[in-house]
Amino acid sequence: MVMIGAAAGGASRLYVGTVINQYFSGRFPLATFLINVTGSFFIGLLMTILTQRFAPHPYLRFLLVVGFLGGYTTFSSFEWEMLFAARNGSGWIALAYAVSSVIAGFIAVWLGAIAGGRSS
Q: How confident is the model at residue 119 (pLDDT cuts 50, 70, 90)?
A: low
Choose among 77, 74, 95: nearest CA to 85. Answer: 95
Q: What is the mean pLDDT of residues 84-110?
A: 94
Give the other-Cβ count within 10 Å of 12's Cβ. Answer: 17
**Residue 93 domain boundaries:** 2-117
Number of domains in the chain: 1
d(CA 97, CA 37): 12
Using an 8 Å Cβ cutoff, are 6 and 68 in contact?
Answer: yes
Q: What is the mean pLDDT of residues 18-25?
A: 94
Percent of the chain surpassing pLDDT 70? 98
Q: Could you tell me the pTM of the whole model?
A: 0.81
**pLDDT digit string (tens) for 31-69?**
999 999 999 999 989 998 888 888 888 899 899 999 999
Q: How confident is the model at residue 29 (pLDDT cuts 50, 70, 90)?
A: very high
Choose among 110, 92, 85: nearest CA to 32. Answer: 85
